[in-house]
Amino acid sequence: MVYNRFRANLLLRVGLLIISIAGITLVLYRTEWYMTAVCIGLLLLFQLYDLVHYVERTNRDISSFLEAIQHSDFTQHFAVKGGNPAYKELYQSFNDVTDAFQRIKTDKQAHHLYLQAIVEHIGVGIVSFDESGRVELVNHVLKEVLHTPHLEHIESLGRISEELVEVMRSIGHNERRLVTLQVRDEQLQLALHATILFSQGRTLKIVSCQNIKSELEEQELQTWQKLIRVLTHEIMNTITPVISLTATVSQLMEEEVVRKADVGEIPEQEVLEDIQTGLQTIEKRSTGMLHFVKNYRRLMRVPTPELRTVKVKDLLKSVQTLLQPEMEARQTKLSIYLREEKAELQIDPELIEQVLINLIKNGMEASHKAAGPCVEVIAYQEEQDRNRFRIDVQDNGTGIAPEDLDKIFIPFFTTKKQGSGIGLSLSRQIMRQHGGSIRVSSPPGGPTTFSLIFHINDE
């Protein structure tokens, strides 16, 4: 309809132009009406100008419309009312096309925002990138896990771990990989899962990243608890009768000695002493084994934390008061630093005190051979993540052997001659019950730092 109207207007102007040309030709060759010829000539020039202007204006409008479409500028509108009636239908068609594209663009943006909201809502880190490594989409979970506020190219992760970049590059469709890396002072175990798709002639790779370290630790703890439950049950069922039987035999022997003494039959003193010593040894070792087993059962009986708001200052002061006499007796300096005097935590103070006492005592034992043994407790809110509060316990000992770092939280494992091997395991379980974590850093030669990490809401 629009083009029919344009064609009609164009043919009308061409027709009028032909009539004018025929008229001026007839006047010049058949009459001597020169003034009439001049007037027709002026009319002919006006018609030529009008024809050129009409065609050029249409071309300009079409060119402007196409340029706006090319640059996705759908804000341009052509005036339909009050304009030239000849262009009314053309402008209306332009506006209709622009509105249609605008609706498509709006729907596309809405779908993108909807998809972005879903991706951000998922509790798993997600990153999408093309063949060149340029990141198309990344959610806040991945940024928080890797402590990367901005990620525009996958190669930027090389400063964290070259292995992670290599795995992301090489992982195939529907393939799963496990990557262990160190981000700041925290060890991560990332489970990666990739999906490859083709879109608009491009190859895109979507990789999900989930830190499963806490889940592995929880599974490990549950496994140890099950093992301890079975072992303690069997050991106690075996040891308890042995203790009882030993006590009975010892009593019977004493009664027998008394009875024979009454009739004048006294056994050899050396034999009696050997029997008595053997029975006492059996009873002592059995009682020690029973105490040992009961000690490990504590891992299965950690009470549920009774959370309340506690000032960190009061918590540290209480721990210092409890340990100060022992620290002075061992000539070990205990220093406590708290950046924010008003800092508070939602914790069970008795359980966290137990964790701090255990860590400080470990530090005291580890640093006793140092020239100036000291243990420092540093409490602060992290600058990079205001939702995390840390309490670091650092000693100036020689550090933990690299081969032992992965074992120190395992129940039964200890590097001390008289250690039970449950202190750190118990501490990790208490921290997990508080929704936090415990980490260790011990470079060769020391110092060793145990970090208690609490998650808080910074309002």
DSSP, collapsed to helix, strand or coil, labels residue 376 as strand
Contact by Cβ (8 Å): 283, 243: yes
Please name which of 433, 387, 450 lies closest in space to residue 217, comparing C-alpha atoms. Answer: 433
CA pseudo-torsion sign 332, 338, 342, 344: negative
Spatial distance between the Cα atoms of 110 and 283, rounded to a whole number of angstroms? 77
- Regarding whether 140 and 44 lie in a shared domain, the answer is no
Q: Quick check: is 287 in a domain?
A: yes
Spatial distance between the Cα atoms of 404 and 407, rounded to a whole number of angstroms? 5
How many Cβ atoms sit within 10 Å of the Cβ of residue 424? 23
- The burial of 97, by beta-carbon neighbours within 10 Å (0-12 exposed, 13-18 middle, 19 or more buried), is given as middle
- Regarding whether 321 and 296 lie in a shared domain, the answer is no
Per-residue confidence of the chain (459 residues) as pLDDT tens digits? 545 666 677 788 788 888 888 877 877 777 777 777 778 778 888 888 777 777 666 677 777 777 777 777 767 776 666 555 656 676 777 778 888 888 888 888 888 788 778 777 777 888 899 988 898 888 888 888 887 888 889 888 888 888 888 988 899 888 888 888 777 666 777 888 899 888 777 888 999 888 766 666 666 666 666 666 656 655 666 666 666 666 676 676 666 666 666 565 555 555 566 666 666 666 666 666 666 566 555 555 667 788 899 999 999 999 998 888 888 888 889 999 998 888 899 999 888 998 999 899 989 988 888 888 899 999 998 877 778 899 999 998 888 888 888 778 776 666 665 555 677 878 888 888 888 888 888 888 878 999 999 988 654
- Regarding whether 425 and 328 lie in a shared domain, the answer is yes
Kindly report the CATH number assigned to the domain that includes residue 185: 3.30.450.20
- Regarding whether 227 and 178 lie in a shared domain, the answer is no
Contact by Cβ (8 Å): 132, 114: no
Non-local CB neighbours of 205 within 8 Å, separated by 6+ positions: 128, 129, 130, 168, 171, 194, 195, 196
Contact by Cβ (8 Å): 375, 393: yes
Strand segments, DSSP code E, in 256-355 are 308-311, 333-338, 344-347
Spatial distance between the Cα atoms of 210 and 188, rounded to a whole number of angstroms? 9
Kindly report the CATH number assigned to the domain that includes residue 404: 3.30.565.10
User: Where do we find the tokens 């040894």?
Assistant: 281
Spatial distance between the Cα atoms of 312 and 343, rounded to a whole number of angstroms? 6
Spatial distance between the Cα atoms of 435 and 398, rounded to a whole number of angstroms? 31
Q: Which of 106, 137, 156 is the last residue of a domain?
A: 106
Q: Which of 191, 211, 231 is the last residue of a domain?
A: 211
Which neighbouring-strand residues pair with 389?
Answer: 381, 454
Q: Quick check: is 36 in a domain?
A: yes
User: Where do we find the tokens 């137990």?
Assistant: 354
- Regarding whether 152 and 18 lie in a shared domain, the answer is no
Q: Which of 274, 300, 326 is the last residue of a domain?
A: 300
- Regarding whether 224 and 190 lie in a shared domain, the answer is no
pLDDT in the model for residue 459: 47
Q: Quick check: is 449 in a domain?
A: yes
Q: Quick check: is 112 in a domain?
A: no
- Residue range(s) defining the domain that contains residue 273: 216-300
- Regarding whether 262 and 243 lie in a shared domain, the answer is yes
- Regarding whether 434 and 347 lie in a shared domain, the answer is yes
- Regarding whether 292 and 233 lie in a shared domain, the answer is yes
Say if strands 176-183 and 135-138 run parallel, antiparallel, or are unpaired. Answer: unpaired
- Regarding whether 101 and 82 lie in a shared domain, the answer is yes
Q: Quick check: is 10 in a domain?
A: yes
Non-local CB neighbours of 422 within 8 Å, separated by 6+ positions: 295, 296, 298, 299, 411, 412
- Regarding whether 252 and 322 lie in a shared domain, the answer is no
Please name which of 338, 333, 335, 334 lies closest in space to residue 313, comparing C-alpha atoms. Answer: 338
Q: Quick check: is 116 in a domain?
A: no
Tokens coding 347: 């914790």
- What is the tally of structural domains in the chain? 4
Q: Quick check: is 113 in a domain?
A: no
Q: Quick check: is 423 in a domain?
A: yes
- Regarding whether 320 and 449 lie in a shared domain, the answer is yes
Contact by Cβ (8 Å): 448, 441: yes
Non-local CB neighbours of 154 within 8 Å, separated by 6+ positions: 127, 129, 133, 134, 135, 165, 168, 169
DSSP, collapsed to helix, strand or coil, labels residue 82 as coil
